Amino acid sequence: MLMLHEILGTDKLVFKEKQAEHFFYEDLLALNEKPSQYKITGYVEVRKNKQLFFKQVYSWV
């Protein structure tokens, strides 16, 4: 997971929730997919211990 300062300045979108067409890296591995065939679409907000983090989401190239 990434912190806000790690994604500032990126051209990727930030989503409140993961969309149906999005996958986390772990999802791709569980589905035996090749992450290299997907691109990073944006980031999803994740709150842990009252802190805001961001997780990369992938979609089909």
Q: How many domains is the chain partitioned into structurally?
A: 1
Distant-in-sequence contacts of 13-20, Cβ < 8 A, 24+ apart = 13/41, 13/42, 13/43, 14/42, 14/43, 14/44, 14/45, 14/54, 15/42, 15/43, 15/44, 15/45, 15/57, 16/44, 16/45, 17/44, 18/44, 18/57, 19/57
**pLDDT interval class at 61 (50, 70, 90):** confident
Summarised one tens digit per residue, pLDDT across range 1-59 is: 999 999 999 999 999 999 999 999 999 999 999 999 999 999 999 999 999 999 999 99
Q: Domain span at residue 15? A: 4-60
